[in-house]
């Protein structure tokens, strides 16, 4: 009886601690979202989406920064996601127990934990210095180095969860291995792989440090991948530090747009990929 009471007490303590820590985290998240809503939503109008960033004291919006962020994020995702998925496929299907696979995992873990500013400095030295100027392409490549290790890890884990019995059954029917991977394993792990891509987008959408060394910024509207380009993270950084009240408002609007765009994207993906009951 004493043992039962002790276990019950421990269980209650653990449940209470789990609920308390969850509420603690949700409290700060709710406070953050409420702060963004309070400071940002009141200054959103059509000019935010149709006019470029203004000079001090002038009127304007964030159209160039919004388009620039979409371009740089798209470039980083289009470069990083396929590489990460293919590397994760190799580790899950061919690299089990191999020394090369273990080496790839080690370097992937190092890249996954590398500070983003170091990746930006690396791309600056390799690409920006070689080209002689900043560019959106360099910014996208820097962001892709953040996406790659994340997608490698998630893809490998999701594909490893697919039972080997499915692979063995398909192989017994004479199906080639590449078809087993593309037609069976990928389909079974699709929701996890897509979630990994979305997490990669969420990870790089607000990155500032790599873009300071690569894409820099542009006060004018530009879609040229080989030229500096405006983007929301750097715009928020510059406007928040400025002494101008109207720029502070635009910084809050930019932070609101980034946060709630990623939140809406995650919710949409979860709804679309939710299994039918």
Does 243 share its domain with 156? yes
**Is 269's pLDDT higher than 80?**
no
pLDDT at 256 over 90: yes
Same domain, 19 and 71: no
Q: pLDDT by residue (tens digit) across 128-173?
A: 999 999 999 999 999 999 999 999 999 999 999 999 999 999 999 9
Residue 133 belongs to a domain: yes
CA angle 127, 257, 155 (to 5 degrees): 60
Radius of gyration for the chain, computed over Cα atoms and rounded to the nearest angstrom:
23
Domain containing 15: what range?
Answer: 2-43
Where residue 54 sits, what CATH number does that domain have? Answer: 1.10.3720.10
Q: Could you give the number of structural domains in the chain? A: 2
For the cut 60, the answer to whether the pLDDT of residue 277 exceeds it is no
DSSP result, 81-149: HHHHHHHHHHHHHT-TT-HHHHHHHHHHHHHHHS-HHHHHHHHIIIIIHHHTS--HHHHHHHHHHHHHH
pLDDT of residue 274: 67
Q: What is the pLDDT of residues 31-89, one digit of tens each?
A: 999 999 999 888 888 999 999 988 887 888 899 999 999 999 999 999 999 999 999 99
Instruction: Indicate the average pLDDT of the chain.
Output: 90
Answer yes or no: do 25 and 129 share one domain. Answer: no
Does residue 267 share a domain with residue 226?
yes
The mean pLDDT of 211-232, rounded to a whole number, is 90
Instruction: Specify the residue for token string 């004018």.
Output: 220
Q: List, for residues 170-204, the tens digit of each pLDDT value.
A: 999 999 999 999 999 999 998 889 888 988 998 89
Domain identity same for 186 and 262: yes
Q: Are residues 27 and 59 in the same domain?
A: no
């Amino acid at each position: 009886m004493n043992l039962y009471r002790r276990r019950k007490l421990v269980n209650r303590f653990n449940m209470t601690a789990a609920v308390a820590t969850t509420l603690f985290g949700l409290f700060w998240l709710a406070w953050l979202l409420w702060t963004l809503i309070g400071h940002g939503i009141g200054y959103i109008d059509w000019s935010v989406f149709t006019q470029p960033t203004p000079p001090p004291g002038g009127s304007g919006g964030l159209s160039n920064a919004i388009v620039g962020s979409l371009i740089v994020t798209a470039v980083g995702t289009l470069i990083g996601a396929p590489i990460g998925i293919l590397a994760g496929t190799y580790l899950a299907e061919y690299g089990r127990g191999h020394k090369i696979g273990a080496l790839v995992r080690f370097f992937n873990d190092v890249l996954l934990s590398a500070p983003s500013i170091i990746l930006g400095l690396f791309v600056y030295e390799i690409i920006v210095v070689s080209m002689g100027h900043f560019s959106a392409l360099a910014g996208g490549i820097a962001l892709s180095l953040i996406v790659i290790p994340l997608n490698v890890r998630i893809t490998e884990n999701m594909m490893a969860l697919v039972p080997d019995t499915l692979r063995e059954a398909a192989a017994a029917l004479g199906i080639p291995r590449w078809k087993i991977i593309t037609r069976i394993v990928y389909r079974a792990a699709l929701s996890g792989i897509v979630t990994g891509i979305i997490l990669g987008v969420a990870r790089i959408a607000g990155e500032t440090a790599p873009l300071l060394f690569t894409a820099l910024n542009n006060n004018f509207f530009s879609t040229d991948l080989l030229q500096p380009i405006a983007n929301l993270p750097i715009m928020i950084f510059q406007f928040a530090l400025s002494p101008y009240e109207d720029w502070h408002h635009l910084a809050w609007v930019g932070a609101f747009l980034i946060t709630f765009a990623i939140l809406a994207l995650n919710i949409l993906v979860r709804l679309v990929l939710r299994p039918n009951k």
